[in-house]
Amino acid sequence: MSEAFTTLPKTGYTRNTPRSFVLNAGAVIKNLVWSGGQWRGERLGATSGGNSLTLTQEIEQIEVDGVFGGARGLDIITESEASLTCNVIELTAENIRTAIRGRSFASNGTNYPTGYTVIEPKGQIEDSDYLQNIAYVGSVAGSDRPIIVILHNAICTSGLELENTDGEKGTVEMVFEGRVDAENVENQALPVTILYPTLNITAAAAQIQVNALKGATPNGN
């Protein structure tokens, strides 16, 4: 075999690979803000079955006469979507209100007995139905700091569907979607911020990784 081919890696695995594993289901935080050197926010609640993050952009190729295949530089973004699906097992009054985008108030004993939070649907979406953001906070094996994915101007779009059976705990699927600011609706970028922690990789290990890839580059350096 030619010496040029022996430098090509046969696997994507390196000694640093395990440090990049995202572990466990993580937590979901509403209205997460970094202020005064610490994070502030409110937990959505306990989940069962994990959380699912989806970030997608629809891409379309501009049709140009004389171009008979996909061409670099002719792609445009036509639609962006950012969503976080949470399998919530902690069904609080606030989570119900959030799921149906309703209003809630404490019963005064007139129409309903005291000791209840009354939750009612609304006929329209109001600005208060949008969260400042919703964030997924997960663990990365190679860092003591979490990975944080923030969906801005999030709103719950899934509604409420609950099935309860004997011996089982009811779980509600809550789907949150990010929205661009009203003043920036022409922006086609995803309304998302991702904070990825710096991994605990030693300089020696990083140099080994660089050296292993040198032979795989087009010019060999």
For residue 221, what pLDDT band results from cuts at 50, 70 and 90? very low
pLDDT of 179 reads 95
pLDDT of 194 reads 96
For residue 119, what pLDDT band results from cuts at 50, 70 and 90? very high
pLDDT of 60 reads 94
Quick: pLDDT tens for 48-71: 989 999 999 999 999 999 999 999
Q: What is the 3-state secondary structure (H, E, C) of the chain?
A: CCHHHHCCCCCCCCCCHHHHCEEEEEEEEEEEEEECCEEEEEECCCEEEEEEEEEEEEEEECCCCCCCCCCCCCEEEEEEEEEEEEEECCCCHHHHHHHHCCEEEECCCCCCCCCCEEEECCCCCCHHHCCCEEEEEEEECCCCCCEEEEEECCEECCCCCCCCCCCCCCCEEEEEECCCCHHHCCCCCCCEEEECCCCCCCHHHHHHHHHHHHCCCCCCC
pLDDT of 3 reads 67
Task: Supply the pTM of this predicted model.
Answer: 0.83
**Residue of higher predicted confidence among 78 and 176:** 176
pLDDT of 47 reads 94
Range picked from 7-16, 59-68, 130-139 for highest mean pLDDT = 130-139
pLDDT of 196 reads 94
- Among 28-32, 34-38, 161-165, which stretch is predicted with the lowest mean pLDDT? 161-165
pLDDT of 1 reads 53
Q: Is residue 206 pLDDT above 60, yes or no?
A: no
Average pLDDT over residues 15-34: 90
For residue 23, what pLDDT band results from cuts at 50, 70 and 90? confident
Residue 213 Cα to chain centre, angstroms: 31
Question: Where do the domains of the chain lie, and which CATH numbers do they carry?
Answer: 1-16+201-221 (no CATH), 27-200 (2.30.110)
Average pLDDT over residues 119-128: 96
pLDDT of 216 reads 43
pLDDT of 169 reads 80
pLDDT of 164 reads 78
